[in-house]
Amino acid sequence: EPEVTQTPSHQVTQMGQEVILRCVPISNHLYFYWYRQILGQKVEFLVSFYNNEISEKSEIFDDQFSVERPDGSNFTLKIRSTKLEDSAMYFCASSYKGGKGETQYFGPGTRLLVL
Amino acid sequence: GNSVTQMEGPVTLSEEAFLTINCTYTATGYPSLFWYVQYPGEGLQLLLKATKADDKGSNKGFEATYRKETTSFHLEKGSVQVSDSAVYFCALSDWYGSEKLVFGKGMKLTVNP
């Protein structure tokens, strides 16, 4: 069964450094998402991406964050200058269609620790 | 705004016990409702969903019914197994034109033999 993959599984970085989290969505999916979960808190939506542009973003997704689909298979989340509070589990997801009833398929997550 | 409130746990049950995980929601529109499950070391997987009132989602012995009058989507299973040990998340998506999922906090379930 096709699945979403994410790399790396764990990343440790120093505050102020740039990180890039990578995701390979399911190959025929058209909608892509990033979520994050700070330890002990809810899974929170960051951004959705369709047709090579951001379709929606949350208040969390400020100028320090960016997303890109650099080729036909990868979907990346860049954090330009990491802060301690960016430490979280980051989940990538994809879906074939958009819309409120559609199933999103999640990757296993990247655990980011900012020191 | 939209929100999901679910039982927090952690919860420990014995094998073959009955499971209920409560989930209630607040939404400005007419949401679709989901239960996702996360097994250790894996991503979130869709367990079941319902898109309109009185729909029942079911999968792997789990069931949940969309109750608009009580704004609830409680997850039930009649007889849990050790392999059901996981974290369970209730979620909703609300607006046409917005795909984002709004999640509850998740509940960790451990089933002992």
- Cα–Cα nearest to A4, from A91, A89, A114, A107: A107
The reply to whether omega before B10 is within 30° of 0 (cis) is: yes
Q: A55: which chain B residues are within 8 Å (Cβ-Cβ)?
A: 99
Quickly state the pLDDT bin for B94 (edges 50, 70, 90): confident
Helix (H, G, I), strand (E, B) or coil at A91: strand
Which pLDDT score is estimated for B97? Answer: 62
> In chain A, which among 56-85 make CB contacts under 8 A with chain B?
56, 58
Measured over the CA atoms of residue B52, residue B53, residue B56 and residue B59, the dihedral's sign is positive
Which pLDDT score is estimated for A92? Answer: 97
Nearest by CB: A102 against B97, B99, B103: B99
Which pLDDT score is estimated for B43? Answer: 83
Assess A38–B contact: CB distance below 8 Å, yes or no.
no
Nearest by CB: A45 against B32, B44, B100: B100
CB A49 within 8 A of CB B100: no
- Cα–Cα nearest to B25, from B6, B1, B10, B4: B4
Q: B103: which chain A residues are within 8 Å (Cβ-Cβ)?
A: 35, 42-44
- Cα–Cα nearest to B61, from B6, B16, B107, B9: B16
β-strand partners of B8 = none
The reply to whether omega before B40 is within 30° of 0 (cis) is: no
Residues of B engaging A, defined by a Cβ cutoff of 8 Å: 31-32, 34, 36, 41-46, 49, 51, 89, 91, 93-106
Rounded to an integer, the average pLDDT of B46-68 is 96
CB A36 within 8 A of CB A85: no
Bigger pLDDT: A70 or B47?
Answer: B47
Q: Are residues B105 and A104, on separate chains, in Cβ contact within 8 Å?
A: no
List of residues 6+ apart from A54 with CB closer than 8 A = A47, A48, A67
Nearest by CB: A56 against B51, B98, B103: B98
pLDDT surpasses 70 at B101:
yes
Quickly state the pLDDT bin for A2 (edges 50, 70, 90): confident
List of residues 6+ apart from A59 with CB closer than 8 A = none
- Cα–Cα nearest to B30, from B93, B79, B105: B93
Q: Are residues B103 and A44, on separate chains, in Cβ contact within 8 Å?
A: yes
Between strands B56-59 and B23-26, the pairing is unpaired
